[in-house]
A and B are shown apart, each in its own frame.
Chain A
């Protein structure tokens, strides 16, 4: 089946630290990959995406590269801010009859000043 596995949280970092949140996937086809962010009490917002191998998605200083050989889509940011504190979800989508979005379990990130 199709699944997404994310780095276990919670993750706590100091401001300006380097961030990596690991994400690996299993898919029967050729998925598109996404990172979503959820701020407290809100719905999910798309952070970045990649639709084919070696694509790099980027937004707000965050980056993730679609690695087909390692089936990974790790999220990185060079210098985190307090405002980056949120829950981050890795997800994939496949077209198999009906389009379904499969999410990882989410990683809670807390940035301390």
Chain B
């Protein structure tokens, strides 16, 4: 069966420090991978998605970047964190079946607090 791992679960970082959040998927090949951010009391904002190694699409301009060095690894990074980067970050993967239906599976999330 497929599983998705996301770490760390919580993180407190000072303003201006770097960030690296990692997400790995097991049990599937060539998944679509996503990073979402959920600000307090708000909905999900799609930050990045990837359909293959080295292929990253950014949805919104921001202080963050993403990389996909391996098929089932997706990394969210920042060189210098801002206070506004605080939030709940969710990694997800999806597949499309023969009928064109996509279903997404989410990690447990990382709560980032920038202080």
- Chain A contact residues, CB within 8 Å of chain B: 32, 34, 36, 41-46, 49, 51, 89, 91, 93, 95, 98-106, 108
User: How many of B's residues come within 8 Å of A, CB to CB?
Assistant: 28
The interface residues of chain A lying within 8 Å CB-to-CB of B25 are none
Contact: B51 with A98, CB < 8 Å?
yes
The interface residues of chain B lying within 8 Å CB-to-CB of A42 are 108-109
Contact: A44 with B100, CB < 8 Å?
no
Q: Which of B36, B43, B57 has the most CB of A within 10 A?
A: B43
Contact: A51 with B101, CB < 8 Å?
yes
Contact: A51 with B99, CB < 8 Å?
yes
- Chain B contact residues, CB within 8 Å of chain A: 6, 32, 34, 36, 41-44, 46, 49, 51, 57, 90, 92, 94, 96, 99-109, 111
Min distance, Cβ B87 to any Cβ of chain A, angstroms:
13
Min distance, Cβ A89 to any Cβ of chain B, angstroms:
7
| Chief secondary structure at chain A's binding surface | strand
Q: Which of A43, A95, A106 has the most CB of B within 10 A?
A: A43
